[in-house]
Amino acid sequence: MGRLRIRPATENDTSTVASLLREEDRLEVQATSGRDPALVMLDGIRHGAECWLVSNAAGEPLCIWGVVDSFESVLDGRVGCIWMLTTTHVERHKKEFFRASKAMVASLLRDWDVLFNLIDCRYERAIEWGRRIGFEFGDPTRFGVEGRLFLPFEVLNV
């Protein structure tokens, strides 16, 4: 198994990643916005501060992720809404993906003071991944077009 590759995501990546999404990611997008996942990713690419594609050595996409500038300020700090959608290929590269994820978040925290978002409470694998990365979770709250329970999280540059 080779190393993972990270490159800027393009609009052409969205349909491929959407066709390979984990079911939990698809359900989370549905619960949040009710929109097509490819369109959600397209918005992230077009309007985000950063957007990246992670693939394995064979070029199979593992995830697309990004940060949207929230235009909020915490004592003049930079605050970003981090997001990620994963594909079924992640399952074959769990350890590499975790190491890369941890490094990606650490890299982002050089430029961002706070990263935040919410995770669908049904998505246990994402919640566990976030805990291992170092996300601090709040209390469950109803969110999105379906009014489901989501866990808000943040990670701070300390």
What are the tens digits of pLDDT across the range 4-28?
Answer: 999 999 999 999 999 999 999 999 9
């291992």: which residue's tokens? 132
pLDDT at 69: 86
Domains of the chain: total: 1
- Assign residue 104 the CATH number of its domain: 3.40.630.30
- Give the tens place of pLDDT for each residue, 82-91: 999 999 999 9
Q: Is residue 147 part of a domain?
A: no
The C-alpha atoms of residue 62 and residue 54 are separated, in whole angstroms, by 6
Given a cut of 80, is residue 105 above it in pLDDT?
yes
Is the pLDDT assigned to residue 154 strictly greater than 70? Answer: yes
If we measure between CA atoms, which residue out of 107, 108, 87 comes closest to residue 97? 87
Residue 48 has pLDDT above 80, yes or no: yes
Query: What is the maximum alpha-carbon separation in the chain?
Result: 44
> Do the domain assignments include residue 108?
yes
Residue 22: which domain range?
5-116
Measuring CA to CA, how many Å separate 113 from each of 16, 72, 122, 155?
32, 11, 28, 8
Task: Indicate yes or no: pTM above 0.75.
Answer: yes
